Structure 1
Amino acid sequence: MAWHRELLIGFDLETTGTDVEADRIVTAAVVALEPDGTVSSERTWLLDPGVAIPAQASAIHGISTDHARRHGLPAASSVEDIAEAVAEVLRSGTPLVVMNARYDLSLLDRECRRYGLRSITERLGTAPAPVVDPLVIDKHVDKYRKGKRALHALCAHYGVTLEEAHDARADAVAAVRVVRSMGERHRPVGAMSLTDLHALQIRAAAAQSASLQAYLRRTNPTAVVESAWPVIPRSR
């Protein structure tokens, strides 16, 4: 059976910002969706990130610094739980669906380093795979479509209902439903093996970054856009 008609597991983070090197996890979700679309298991986390949550981030995901400090779990133990939950999915060979995986998986990697924990790569003995990233796939299969490519925009384009946007659980579920719709609509992608699909996304993400970098260098000759996917290598 095609990969998008099998069990898929969505992963999402809500965070303190958009810098993978400096920002922290606030909420996380790992949600399993069966082939019929039902949620068969889920794990969610609310963390006390140990730093103030900027007002701009709170406005997006609705978690204030005070709420996280009052109700959040300790960050170090939670990051360990999240990392092991993600590694367990990948050890099983089940596809991990992550919208903009380059961000979420890289930030989780940096959180592991922050607390002296083993990264996903270290737990697996190899880079995270198989990962399915609706952002990378959509840009590959529909390169010239105008408009936004954020999760809410992909949901609208692929006919998926997004409830409670920027809630980690809701976003994880929506991302899975989007890639299922992609697999049906774009049959060559849906017919790929997971190994080939993962390799395609590595190449596609690099090409997309190179294109954006070339565009930015029209006005900023030193602009650099990260090409690695699904995890940005750590700087030394």
Structure 2
Amino acid sequence: MQLNLKNPLVIFDLETTGMNIASDRIVEISYLKVSPNGKEECKTLRLNPEMPIPPQSTEIHGISDADVADCPTFVEVAKNLAKDIEGCDLAGYNSNRFDIPLLAEEFIRADVDIDLMKRKFIDVQTIFYKKEPRTLSAAFKFYCDGDLENAHSAEADTRATYEVLKAQLDRYEDLENDVNYLSKFSSFNRNADFAGRIVLDDNDEEIFNFGKYKGQKVADVLKRDPGYYGWILQGDFTLHTKKVITNVKLRSFNK
């Protein structure tokens, strides 16, 4: 089944130095841009993360420090990458919890102003887990009746994700071929930040989703405990989480 698109859809996958959204970096990004008319464009960029790649990460994706020594940094490609994905909805495998938050962090570090929160996100892993909880290789076998070769290669995983998404639409009649629907279905929470530390309630107000103030409104907590804001800014939270909380704080000053 072909996707019913109103906006271009970018299916992407990252290979990184590790799994810490706040501190790890991208070493490879591959993205498949699918236009509403069905046209497909695929690009793969290998990047110098400007930090050592841990051996355990190299064991997974096969990319070493030597492989990226002469590659551009994210800062050098950030503007062109932002231009490529501007106005596009995003899809990936475990992308809502990892790839999109990490990509947003890299854009913030590069001082590139792109508001990914305005886009729709489809997480193929979430759809898969809700329907058939397994790995991407198993998903490809289950939905596409094939073996995923070169798993953990960004381009192979990207194309497999795209094929699985189309096959999911073919298999499940209750899945609507609509990006808005798929974005909502592949999300567990309505996040205000990419890391899911802050969520939105039914009135679109920001709520803490962690710590001692979990379940309480961010604006109320910042008024009641101003020091908590400073603790967050100094803590091991993502730049985007800090940005969202700062915006809530600034908004209260303007009231």
Q: Which runs of 5+ in 2 are unaligned?
A: 191-195, 197-210, 212-237, 244-255
Q: What secondary structure sits across from 1:187 in the alignment?
A: coil
The question of whether the paired residues in 2 share the 8 Å contact of 1:83 and 1:108 is answered with: no
Specify the alignment match of 2:69 in structure 1. 69
- The answer to whether 1:46 aligns with 2:80 is no
AA aligned to 1:127 is K
AA aligned to 2:80 is D
Q: 1:154 and 1:205 mapped to 2: Cα distance?
A: 23
* Deviation, structure 1 residue 235: 2.8
* Deviation, structure 1 residue 16: 0.5
- Percent of residue pairs bearing the same amino acid type: 26
Specify the alignment match of 2:81 in structure 1. 82
**Alignment deviations for residues 91-120 of structure 1 (CA, whole Å, 9 cap, x no partner):** xxxx53211112111001101111222234
Q: TM-score if structure 2 supplies the norm length?
A: 0.66
Q: 2:147 and 2:239 mapped to 1: Cα distance?
A: 30
Q: TM-score if structure 1 supplies the norm length?
A: 0.71
Q: What secondary structure sits across from 2:118 in the alignment?
A: coil
Specify the alignment match of 1:134 in structure 2. 124
Number of aligned residue pairs: 199
Query: What does 1:85-234 correspond to in 2, within 5 Å?
Result: 85-88=84-87, 90=88, 95-102=89-96, 103-121=98-116, 126-129=117-120, 131-142=121-132, 145=133, 149-158=134-143, 159-189=145-175, 191-202=176-187, 204=188, 234=241
Higher relative contact order (CA 8 A, sep 6+): 1
For the aligned residue pairs, the C-alpha RMSD in angstroms reads 3.5
The question of whether the paired residues in 1 share the 8 Å contact of 2:11 and 2:91 is answered with: yes
Specify the alignment match of 1:59 in structure 2. 59
Q: Which runs of 5+ in 1 are unaligned?
A: 210-221, 223-230
**Alignment deviations for residues 38-86 of structure 1 (CA, whole Å, 9 cap, x no partner):** x83211101111001111111111110121013x112202233333322
Question: CA 1:52–1:87 in structure 2 vs 1: closer, same or farther (change >3 Å)?
Answer: same
Question: CA 1:161–1:68 in structure 2 vs 1: closer, same or farther (change >3 Å)?
Answer: same
Question: CA 1:34–1:84 in structure 2 vs 1: closer, same or farther (change >3 Å)?
Answer: closer
Specify the alignment match of 1:215 in structure 2. none
Structure with the greater alpha carbon radius of gyration:
2
Question: CA 1:42–1:187 in structure 2 vs 1: closer, same or farther (change >3 Å)?
Answer: same
AA aligned to 1:235 is K
Q: What secondary structure sits across from 1:43 in the alignment?
A: strand
